[in-house]
Structure 1
Amino acid sequence: MVFGENDYTELEKKINYTFKDKNHLDIAFTHKSFVNEYRKKKIPSYERYEYLGDAVLEFIVSNELFKRYPEKSEGELTKLRASLVCEYTLSQITEKFGFGDYLYLSNGEEVTGGRNRSSILCDLFESVLGAIYLDGGIKEAKNYVVRHLLTDIQNKVLFHDSKSLLQEYVQKIGNTLTYREISETGPDHNKTYEVEVVITGADGEEKTYEKGVGNTKKGAEQIAAHKTLLTLGVY
């Protein structure tokens, strides 16, 4: 992929925002591995945009939740915000929009699946938000967050609580819940874990349920728990 040659027309339609300066998008989609591989070209990575987007995201989400839920305490609002801005939630949004297709990556990251890695896709939500803020201001940044993140809040909260909800359900029916690691791949600084849910009945019989993949064991377990709750029809 050659830097600066992305056509963002379809992407802009999906996110409902047209950039005045497309250079903001080029930076927002440039991974640091690409920068390192093409050092002589002095291309900036998305890290500064992600930093800015993270701060803008926290402000917008905090402000919206404060206004929408006047009955909730500070602790409840903090938990709700955490469920909305977690890696899984943000990466699901950017995956749906195909953000990974526009990513400037090194050959090494490309080969190891960086284009679909949830941690990178999560970063892209924030870097694009930072780009929108720089290009269009806080109003457009707010529109992006409200339109694409602050919808279907209840289901997003359920995902965040998946492990505890599944534990409560399994205990209620007298069974035991465990997470079995299937695989651990990648270098130490960038591991990928795959786990599966195993529920053991009172008679000792094990039954395997859904799998989850994540950059941490906890994240993989949470995804597996969420999928299992859906399979079981718990919510």
Structure 2
Amino acid sequence: MRLHDEQHPTGGAATVLDVTAAVASGEHLAVLQSHLPYSFPVLRRLQFSLTAAGSSPTAKVLLATSGDSPHLAVAYVDVHKAPETQMWIYSSLEDSCGLGGHDPPEISLPSSEVDVCLEQVLSILKRAGEVAREAGPDIGAVGVDGVARTGGIMVGTLHEALRLLLLDKGVTMSYSNPHYKWLFRVEDLPTGLASPLTEDMAWDTIRRGDVPLIKQRTNIPKTESRTEDAE
């Protein structure tokens, strides 16, 4: 995603709070928890940042608000994670899309509120772009598909409604790999089912020697150094 198109500058009403600490605070988590299940991807990323290997000194938490508006946007950004995912972002606009899985998503907000939400997201993207430029010209230059995109950033779990709105505002995206999110209530899952494993299979833990196989089986770039840090 190219972070800022000079022909489509962002507005000035949204305020972006740049949290210099790489670890999310309890306040951030509480805000996101109040917007579940829509905020789930960013919430989980911030929760992971609380673990020993879940963050880095270069990571930032960005929070965008607009005066008295109840809407907000939250992002976890670490441009130095390239070519892995560098940003997770959530906007309260997602709450209005419901869980119906419509394609394209149906936004049940007045256009004035959509504009507020979009301005917040654009403000966060603009700030992330500044961080990327400060980090150096080679950050994020090669994406998951091997295409050079200097000036861009790899965004994960971007809601489809936001993606379409950002495209309409002139934000360019050179790579998109859509996925559906499925959430199941544990109490609703069937019980008493036979094991899906055959007699020659067994559940086990992931070992250090399994890392090369895991890297080989995914198109998402992984580096062993970061996997080692997580052990």
TM-score interval, normalised by the smaller of the two chains: under 0.3
More helix by share: 1
* Higher RCO (CA 8 Å, separation ≥ 6 residues): 2
Query: TM-score, normalization: structure 1?
Result: 0.26
